[in-house]
Amino acid sequence: MLERIIEEAPAFFGYYNVVFLLEALLATFLLSVIGCLVGFLAGFAMAAVRRSGGRALAPARWLILAYVEVFRRIPFLVTLLLCFFLFEVLKLGLTTFQVAVVAVCLIASAYIAEIVRGGLDSVHHNQWDAAATLNFTYWETLRWVVVPQAWRVILPPVFSFFVLFIKDTALASQIGVVELTYAGKVLNNKGFSAALVFGSILILYFALSWPLARAGSWMEKKLAPSRHR
C-alpha cells in the first residue's frame, strides 16, 4: 500500500487537486466558524432571554423553548434537507453553501442555548437574591455575577460541541456543498487510493479541530477563575 501511495503522491498533490482541497477546507472552515460564532452568540442570547422573568418577554421564551427542543431532536441531516427543500420552494436563489450555513447556525444555536441554560442554572440562587437586593437589574446580574461564574460550567461542553460540530459539517456534502468530505469522495472517484485521499482529509480535519480544542482549554483557564468557588 505504501508503494502505491508513494507512486500516486506526485499526481495527487498536483496544483489543481491542492487548490480543490484547500477550497474544500475553506468551506468546512467557514461552515464551522460561522456555525460556532453565530451559535454561540444566538445561543447565549436565547438562554439569557429564557432565564428572564419579565412578562414582555414571555412570548419570546415560548418560541425559544419550542425552537431549542425541536432542533436538538432532529438529526443534523434532516435539518439540512429541510432547509434545502424549504429554500428550493421559496426560490430565494441561495447557493447550497448558503443553505448549509443557515442549517449549521440553526443547529448550533439550539445546542448552545441548552448548554448555556444549564450553565446559568448552575449558579447558586443566593447569588440572584443578593444581586436583587442590591438593586441590580436582570441583565446586570447576568453580566456582573452569573455569567462570570457560569463560564467554567459552560465552556467545556461548548468546546466539545464545537469539535463534534466541525465533523458534522461533513453532512453538508449530502446537499452538494464541496467541503472536505465531498472533496475526498471526488478525488477517490478519480482513482486515487482511499488511504491517500482520506488520510489527507483526516489530517485536514485534525488541523481544524486541534487549534480549536487548544483555544478552548486556554479560554477555560483564562475566563474561568475556577479556584474561586
Partner 1 sequence: MRHLDIVDLRADYGSHTVLERINLEVGKGEIVSLIGPSGSGKSTLLRVILGLLPPIAGEVRIGGQTIDYRNKRDVKAIRSRVAVVFQQYNLFQNMDVLRNVTIAPVKVKGRPRAEVEEEAKLLLTRVGLGDKLKSYPDQLSGGQQQRVAIARALALKPEILLLDEVTSALDPELVNEVLDTIRDLATEGMTMLIVSHEMAFVREVSSKVVFMAAGHVVETGPPKQIFDNPQMARTQDFVGKILRH
Residue ranges in contact with partner 1 by CB under 8 A: 126-127, 129-136, 140, 144-145, 148-149, 225, 227-229
Nearer to partner 1, 91 or 227 (CB): 227
Query: Distance between CA 104 and CA 188 in Å, rounded?
Result: 26
Nearest distance from C-beta of residue 223 to partner 1, angstroms: 11
Q: How far apart are CA 197 and CA 122, in angstroms?
A: 45
**Is 138 strand, coil or helix?**
helix
**105: amino acid identity, one letter:** C
Q: Which is nearer to partner 1, 66 or 134 (CB)?
A: 134
- Residue 191 gets the label, from left (phi > 0), alpha (psi -120 to 50) or beta, of left
- Looking at beta carbons only, is 63 or 130 nearer to partner 1? 130
CB of 140 to partner 1, least distance (A): 7
Question: Smallest distance from the beta carbon of 16 to partner 1, in angstroms?
Answer: 54
Kindly state the smallest distance separating residue 137's Cβ from partner 1, in Å.
9
**Nearer Cβ to partner 1, position 58 or 194?**
58
Longest CA pairwise span in the chain (Å):
74
Task: Return d(Cα 169, Cα 105) in angstroms, integer.
Answer: 11
Tell me, what amino acid is at 190?
K
